[in-house]
Structure 1
Amino acid sequence: MEWSIQEVSRLTGVTSRTLRHYHAIELVTPSRVGDDGRRFYDARCLLMLQRVMLLKELGLNLTKIREVLSRSTDEVQALQTHLEWIETEKERLTALQASVQSTIRALQEKEMMMPEDMFDGFNHADYYDEVSKRWGAATAEQSDTWWKNMNATDRSDFQAEIKVLINQWKALAGAGVEPSNKEAQELAARHVQWLRTVPGIPDDMRSYVEGLAQLYADDPRFAVQYQLSEDDTRGAEFVKEALLIFAQENL
């Protein structure tokens, strides 16, 4: 069975102009072209078109799509791979949906918005260059790959742990505990242990922790997480001092 280019366009939503372009670049070739120049597509052509559409939805450009298609000859295996990519994207979109819902809820209830909630599901490339500059490309690459490969449950568990740490840091800072206090140093040890769960961290753990401690206080994206209130920014300084003491004495 075959379908004309007009029928394929109507069924798929892909314009005739785009289908002709795919033919011209040999991405989706019609099963035959009539004497009058009309293109016709059989089931195999439609399968190839479906794969192209799936890969475009996943953000690949035509050059990359061609590379992917050229590497896979087993259609079932190829579609299974595409399905895995779709599942990964589905998890990302679910996280993105949750982050927007969290922001709406925080705005409605006048709560402080947590950056890890607001930006969960977004592309973390903005941090890639910064990590690469501070701790090297290898660290950035390993951390980025690790984050992208995490499933929704693992990401949730990882973020839940930092939320607990943040709340405990704020509680100690709000209580007026000194950064050198035993309780603060025990929390610093837990924080460092949490940091060690991220692959690719530098061998020089002391410099790494000292750099992060300074970043927590200096960078508003991090400092806001440790604010005791909208006008009380003591929390980030408290975390910085406690981590610096821990790093100097234990790393």
Structure 2
Amino acid sequence: MRDSTDSGDAAAKAPHGIADVARSAGVSSRTLRHYDAIGLLPATAIGQGGLRRYDDRSLVRLQRILLLRGLGLGLSEIRAVLDGEQDDVAALTAHVAWLERERDRLARQLAAVRTTITRIQQGEDMNTTDTFDGFDQTRFKQEVEERWGPEAWDRGTRWWASKDPAAKEAFQAEQRAIARDAAALAASGDGPTSRAALALARRQFDWLAQATPPAELTAERFRTLADMYVQDERFTHAYEWAGAGAEQALRGAMHALADRGL
């Protein structure tokens, strides 16, 4: 809640000035003023000379904004996510798990590049295992081919490559919207067979069917994908960032729809 008081009162209620926050967060004061103007990060108080000031909770919110921006979300999407969450600790804990996975992957990439430099300098032979450790550009390829055949991976790759940037963004935006609605479903307490849950599962089916021929997107395959969202950490964060229980709610809804024959 914004308060317009004298500088002493403002500093007591919100000890962090806009210049300090901007510098520490690596953003501009103009960006913070914009976030205030659109209601994404309202200043806690207005100090002397109209300078915005922030309390500790605002710093937590800004950290979450920056984390979600790093995932590619737009400002309106970020506001929807944050406004729908009540537990900062749970949300940040989920993001910590993702950051730790990214840290480990980047550490492996760093080690791979250093190994390459050493081998070049010493005239040693390269090997594919060390050279590409941590890059994982096709980390799902083997699993997809084992589950659904080699053509499944090739077809999906060709489908994605054929899309223009706008179509790719629309596809990704729908996935993020489904994640947010899954988090809302989890928070609502509605069961997997509720109207809202089944409608969400249908959206997920339609989203998947853009890249997979509907004839191949069987109930069994739909259930398998639903389980992967919960059991496989590579997929989990695609949904859990939106709120606690999002991936669990989506899996339940997808199973319920599959049980009805899609």
TM-score, normalised via structure 1 length: 0.49
Point out the structure with max Rg over C-alpha: 1
TM-score, normalised via structure 2 length: 0.47
The higher-RCO structure (CA 8 Å, 6+ apart) is 2
